[in-house]
Amino acid sequence: GPEGLEKGSRPTELTDWIACARPWTDRQPKKIRDLATFENHFREWWSEVQPEGRMKDDLGRFVQVDEPGVDWDDIRLSGKNGLWMVVAGLCFWGQALGSDEARLFCPPWFDCVSDVSWVLNELIRTFSSSA
């Protein structure tokens, strides 16, 4: 099977970071050149890696409801290019926003953190039934 999530619309900063052997410091590893572009690419990429059958609401956000027909195995990737890259991307984005208050008042970032957290919980919840 695949070793990581599809590259698709993954933000350039994450791709560059992979190419630089993933250095991590107290500061963001790669400066986000354009926050709006990073946000759009991250959200597109997150959407691209979702399993078939995940529903969206009228605002285009994923609905966080247990869908019996959703197969989580394609996103259940724990390697260095798996879900870790999504978490790293949220960290880059959150650090670029600056303060805790800025993150709190950035609905797209907050929505993505919430959805990634929900998906991680779904992966745990559905693991035993798919193992």
To the nearest whole number, what is the mean pLDDT of the chain? 83
Quick one: pLDDT at residue 130? 46
Confidence of residue 1 (pLDDT cuts 50, 70, 90): very low
Structure tokens at 8: 């698709």
Radius of gyration of the chain (CA): 15
Residue 56's beta-bridge partner residues?
A: 62
Structure tokens at 10: 């993954």
- Rounded (10°) angle between helices 35-48 and 107-130: 20
Task: For the chain, give every domain's residue range.
Answer: 12-130
Q: Tell me which residue has tokens 């990429």.
A: 45
pLDDT tens-digit map of 20-33 = 766 666 554 557 88
pTM of the model: 0.81
